[in-house]
Structure 1
Amino acid sequence: MHQVHLLEIEFENDGLKQVYTPVLIQDEHEMILIDCGYPNSGDHLEKAAEQVGVSLSGLTRVIVTHHDLDHAGALSGLKKKYPHIEIIAHELERPYIEGKKKSLRLEQAEAMLAVIKNEEKADAERFISFLQTYEPATVDRTVVAGERLPWCGGIEIVHTPGHMPGHISLYLLFSKTMIAGDAVVVEHGRLNIANPQYTLDMEEALRSVRRLLDYDIDHLICYHGGTFHGDIKNALKQLIQDDAL
């Protein structure tokens, strides 16, 4: 039996609350976590898994959609606690996850620091310090666009760059579910481009939305906002049309 569990996690940093949604998929042999949250999120993940009747002790793999801190920050801690797990990411994301290249988000934040107003610099510096808390983790396996992983009824890798160059979404063949990561986000019931101010290439991000339209999607899960309830195809088309106006 194939199962999909949404792990809703609330995180507070610097007085700001965020809710994000890692996903657990499992079958008789595998339990795979899609994204894992900020550094030191292990306890939050454990509790969220328990709430859906699952123990992370059975975790076999973690697939990371991209190297942003809220998606990959807990990787190192998970690997220390469960050293048998396999960490998987797109080949373009590997050097950032492993710490061999500086985070693109950190580069962006440092570049912004030089041009923002003085009264905004304290917040920007705190954000930079927070990004620097990331602890690298070894990527055990890299994937590429169109690759199909054999677990949990089949998982197709959908390369959806824009937010980050190596960003991936995951299409679960057995349930026609698209796990979109930060390719799109649900805000107040509407589908939007995730965090435009942090999207490194908006044109590429919109091409990625068009790429999602190539799939027959019955369920769309966003890291920020959870499951989208509505006409998925029309909502994706509307995003593209809105940008063209």
Structure 2
Amino acid sequence: MKIIELPIAFEFNGQLNTIYPSLIIMNDELTLVDTGYTNFLPLIEHEITKMDYEMEHLKNIIITHYDDDHIGSLYNFKEKYPWINIIASEIESKYISGEIKSERLVQAEELLDNMSPEQKEFGTWFIQQLKDLKHVAIDNKVNDGDMILHKECRVVATPGHTSGHISLYFPKLNSVITGDAAANENQELDIANPHFCLNMDNAKQSLRKIQNLQADTYYCYHGGKFTI
């Protein structure tokens, strides 16, 4: 078993950005953690196949939380590879499937009224991006402490960024996939995108929670791999 980060570079608003979905390899079974923005499927496929892994072996997708840079291409993956088992927390599943309007959309709509005219242009665009996300049903709903992936991975509830955010702990590898519970900021673990955190107190507690695991390696979606 091993974990590989998938650096996905893209341009946004005139700047080069990179996100780092994770690929978990267990024998011939592949599990992808988070799917990038909408239309990122070809970019992620390219990173996987250039390492000589076959997409036909992609068995699971785990979603850490419902933000558009994490679930944007989830629908495309499920449409192209219908056998994929989609895993997310029980709390996040209701937002990803569209049963309930996402907390992020509610937050964005509430903030729009107090934005300056310059900010409103971005705010309006962002709201439309969230509304355009295609909903996908979750096959496997998990909770804190659940052991998944042949009991090699422990689900760790890390709320704050969103209410149902999860991270993933691999005891045998002593590694954590953080999602947005932590970012690699200049080789230090810090709260990811604090302005987007729905509950800063919970986010701080969640960061401490995964730090207290004392892992050797943290795979951060923003900033990439952090090794102690």
Tell me whether the two structures share a fold, i.e. TM-score over 0.5: yes
- Structure 1 residue 51: deviation in Å? 2.9
**Structure 2 gaps, min length 5:** none
Partner of 1:224: 222
Which residue identity lines up with residue 75 of structure 1 in the other structure? L
Conserved? CA contact 2:10–2:18, under 8 Å: yes
User: Percent identity at matched positions?
Assistant: 38
TM-score (ref. length: structure 2): 0.95
TM-score (ref. length: structure 1): 0.88
The 2-side partners of 1:109 and 1:96 are apart by 15
Conserved? CA contact 1:5–1:52, under 8 Å: no
The 2-side partners of 1:213 and 1:219 are apart by 10
- Structure 1 residue 116: deviation in Å? 1.0
User: What secondary structure does 1:60 align onto?
Assistant: strand
Structure with greater strand share of residues: 2
Task: Give the direction of change, closer, same or farther, for the CA distance of 1:17–1:128 in structure 2 (3 Å limit).
Answer: farther
User: What secondary structure does 1:116 align onto?
Assistant: coil
The 2-side partners of 1:50 and 1:150 are apart by 22
Partner of 2:135: 136
1:195 counterpart (193, 196, 210): 193
- Structure 1 residue 16: deviation in Å? 4.2
User: What secondary structure does 1:180 align onto?
Assistant: strand
Partner of 1:72: 71
- Structure 1 residue 187: deviation in Å? 2.2
Coordinate RMSD, CA, aligned: 1.5
Which residue identity lines up with residue 178 of structure 1 in the other structure? V
Partner of 1:9: 8
Question: Per-residue displacement from partner, 1:61-93 (whole Å, max 9, x unpaired)?
Answer: 001000001111111100010000100000000
The 1-side partners of 2:63 and 2:118 are apart by 35
- Structure 1 residue 102: deviation in Å? 1.2
1:182 counterpart (164, 172, 180): 180
The 1-side partners of 2:111 and 2:39 are apart by 27
4+ residue stretches of structure 1 with deviation over 6 A? none
User: What secondary structure does 1:17 align onto?
Assistant: strand
Partner of 2:105: 106
Conserved? CA contact 2:28–2:57, under 8 Å: no
Question: Per-residue displacement from partner, 1:33-60 (whole Å, max 9, x unpaired)?
Answer: 1111111111001111123332222100
User: What secondary structure does 2:61 align onto?
Assistant: strand
Task: Give the direction of change, closer, same or farther, for the CA distance of 1:14–1:102 in structure 2 (3 Å limit).
Answer: farther
The 2-side partners of 1:71 and 1:150 are apart by 20
User: What secondary structure does 1:132 align onto?
Assistant: helix
- Structure 1 residue 18: deviation in Å? 2.4
Task: Give the direction of change, closer, same or farther, for the CA distance of 1:209–1:164 in structure 2 (3 Å limit).
Answer: same
